[in-house]
């Protein structure tokens, strides 16, 4: 089973809302990732969580905060987002950081 | 900073043609190079991963090659089918394992 699941599939939120995106994998992978993808652009790495350590792309604003409750879950908490944060948010996992990454279907986020 | 370029940006071919997608990268100190497929509004599907020590990988009608010294990879698709229509992305993993850098993709349309 090479499945990464993401919920919700679609999310519409106002700039004052707090919401969370959820990502789950049951492949025993040790690394999980969050990417942001704008229309007709490649994915951009936001966060990497591997071996219980979080690595952050320094360009990602603090209104995005990841949380890893256990080795199978990686959540992304959203607070006070801006309309330009509207994008497809992709989660991925891999056995090790250097291995093939398996992507989830994504969450389509719209910020009004 | 690694930069990944894909040529062409878009390609339209009739069914049955063999085709080549190109990917180039500026920093040859990569650990591996991966090819993905993305359908509109969907997540990424891993197609092939080539380790830096390898020259090529094959899966079904797909063959990917890697020439680290020249900073190039190609994805060869044999006997193209309408179901192959998608955006194809290549991504280079740097030797520090910290970032997967994507190209902007080649949008492929295979017409019946």
Tell me how far the alpha carbon of residue A16 is from its chain's centroid: 20
Q: Which helix (H) or strand (E) holds A44?
A: strand A44-50
Instruction: Give which of A36, A90, A24, A3 is closest to B42, Cα–Cα.
Output: A90
pLDDT at B37: 96
pLDDT of residue A80: 92
Share of chain A above pLDDT 90, in %: 73
Q: Do B44 and A97 touch (CB under 8 A)?
A: no
How confident is the model at residue A60, as a pLDDT? 92
Q: Is A59 on the interface with B (CB under 8 A)?
A: no
- Is residue B102 less than 8 Å (CB to CB) from chain A? yes
Mean pLDDT for the stretch of residues A35-51: 91
CA distance readout (Å), B91 to A68, A78, A82, A101, B102: 25, 27, 28, 11, 4
Rounded CA-CA distance A96/B51 in Å is: 14
Q: CA–CA separation, A105 vs B42, rounded Å?
A: 5
Is residue B15's pLDDT more than 70? yes
Residue A59 has pLDDT above 90, yes or no: no
């Amino acid at each position: 089973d090479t499945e990464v699941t993401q919920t919700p599939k679609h999310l519409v939120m106002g700039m004052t809302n707090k919401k969370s995106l959820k990502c789950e994998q049951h492949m025993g992978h040790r690394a999980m990732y969050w990417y942001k993808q704008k229309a007709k652009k490649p994915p951009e790495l936001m966060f990497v969580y591997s071996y219980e350590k979080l690595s952050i792309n320094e360009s990602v604003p603090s209104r995005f905060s990841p949380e890893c409750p256990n080795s199978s879950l990686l959540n992304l908490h959203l607070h006070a987002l801006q309309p330009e944060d509207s994008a497809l948010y992709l989660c991925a996992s891999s056995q090790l950081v250097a291995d093939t990454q398996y992507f989830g279907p994504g969450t389509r986020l719209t910020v009004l | 900073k690694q930069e990944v370029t894909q040529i062409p940006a878009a390609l339209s071919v009739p069914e049955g043609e063999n085709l080549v997608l190109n990917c180039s990268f500026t920093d040859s100190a990569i650990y591996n190079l991966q090819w993905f497929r993305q359908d509109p509004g969907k997540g990424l599907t891993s197609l092939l991963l080539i380790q830096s020590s390898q020259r090529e990988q094959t899966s079904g009608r797909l063959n990917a090659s890697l020439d680290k010294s020249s900073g190039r990879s190609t994805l060869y698709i044999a006997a193209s089918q309408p179901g192959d229509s998608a955006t194809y992305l290549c991504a280079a993993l740097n030797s520090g394992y910290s970032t997967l850098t994507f190209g902007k993709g080649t949008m492929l349309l295979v017409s019946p």
